[in-house]
Amino acid sequence: QNFFQEKQIFAGKKVMITAGATREAIDPVRFISNYSTGKMGFALAESFARKGAEVHLIAANTSIAQPENVSSYKVSSAQEMFETAQSLVSEMDICVFSAAVADYRPKEVATEKIKKNTETLTLELIKNVDIAFTLGQKKKKNQFFVGFALETQNETENALQKLQKKNFDMVVLNSLKDEGAGFAHDTNKISIIDKNGTKIDFPLKSKKEVAKDIVSFIYECLQK
Ligand code: CTP
Ligand code: CA
């Protein structure tokens, strides 16, 4: 027992977290992806684990150190992330969807490296499975689902719409408006929007501190 151990308020709770950026293959050497590093999801995994939760972290293409006392699942594409999440979800008490999932993937994956023998190249993309939406449709009464939203306009309305559409219990809105917030930064500025549409703004903080705020907020919600 560690003297500095945090209160084990999530003891007995199972938490699944998606994190990172999915990669969608174009050919054997290329892919489509985005700038997400997975820092926020990893910080959440660490925070939950320190508070006693059994944490299952589904990580897509991350290169940061794995938190202690967390079960990790390495995936690459949206489809792989979906399959892993689907295999775990029924056992979970809390699911946090922090991954930046590619919305589209190339319709055909070339089996050989594409050669540059044309002046233009058109890739046809098709929609990926919406992991949070699909799992949200089967959400059980005692399960608590948390979504993330990154918006560049009509932030609050769009985030609330996502909450409703995907059956989230709360949504974390990432602000890109401030210096030092968002992708690849160590800091983040968030607002939390709950089911009633109540919005709570948090100041710019380190992602580890933001993770603690989110985890505490989830704990408070579960007490109600
Ligand atoms: N999400 C997911 N699977 C996808 C796309 C998104 O699980 N294929 C999850 C994200 O992890 C996040 C939430 O859904 O928790 C919202 O993601 P976001 O990209 O903001 O919303 P989209 O529904 O993809 O809509 P759009 O990108 O058009 O704003
Ligand atoms: Ca999206």
Q: What is the pLDDT of residues 142-156, one digit of tens each?
A: 999 999 998 888 899
Closest to 67 in 3D by CA, of 48, 42, 39: 42
- Does the pTM surpass 0.90? The reply is yes
Please give the sequence-ordered ranges of beta strands (E in DSSP) within the chain, or none if there are none: 14-20, 24-27, 30-32, 54-60, 70-75, 94-97, 104-106, 125-127, 144-150, 170-174, 187-188, 190-194, 199-201, 205-206
* In the chain, domain spans: 14-223
C-alpha 33: how far from chain center: 15
- Cβ of 99 less than 6 Å from ligand 1: yes
- As residues whose CB is below 5 A from the ion ligand 2, the structure lists 103
The burial of 22, by beta-carbon neighbours within 10 Å (0-12 exposed, 13-18 middle, 19 or more buried), is given as: buried
Whole-number Å distance between alpha carbons of 173 and 75: 25
Q: How confident is the model at residue 224 (pLDDT cuts 50, 70, 90)?
A: confident
Overall average pLDDT of the 102-115 stretch: 98
- Cβ of 56 less than 6 Å from ligand 1: no
Q: Counting ligands in written order, which one lies closest to the CA of residue 171?
A: 1
Q: Which residues are annotated as a binding site for CTP?
A: 103, 113, 148, 162, 166
Q: Is the pLDDT confidence value at 1 over 70?
A: no
- How many Å lie between the centroid of ligand 1 and the Cα of residue 172? 12
Q: Counting ligands in written order, which one lies closest to the CA of residue 174?
A: 1
Overall average pLDDT of the 195-205 stretch: 93
- How many Å lie between the centroid of ligand 2 and the Cα of residue 78? 11
Residue-wise pLDDT tens digits, 33-82: 999 999 999 999 999 999 999 999 999 999 999 999 999 999 999 999 99
Whole-number Å distance between alpha carbons of 207 and 217: 15
Q: Is the pLDDT confidence value at 177 over 70?
A: no
Catalytic residue IDs: 34
Q: Using an 8 Å Cβ cutoff, are 37 and 184 in contact?
A: yes
- How many Å lie between the centroid of ligand 2 and the Cα of residue 127? 10
Q: Counting ligands in written order, which one lies closest to the CA of residue 128?
A: 1
Mean pLDDT estimate for the chain: 94
Q: Which residue CA neighbors atom 9 of ligand 1 most closely?
A: 132
- Cβ of 148 less than 6 Å from ligand 1: yes
Closest atom of ligand 1 relative to the 166 alpha carbon: 14
Overall average pLDDT of the 174-178 stretch: 74
Whole-number Å distance between alpha carbons of 129 and 83: 10
- Write down the pLDDT at residue 175: 79
CATH superfamily of this structure's domain 14-223: CoaB-like (3.40.50.10300)
Tokens of 19: 């994190």
Q: How confident is the model at residue 140 (pLDDT cuts 50, 70, 90)?
A: very high
Q: Identify the residue whose tokens are 């992602």.
A: 207
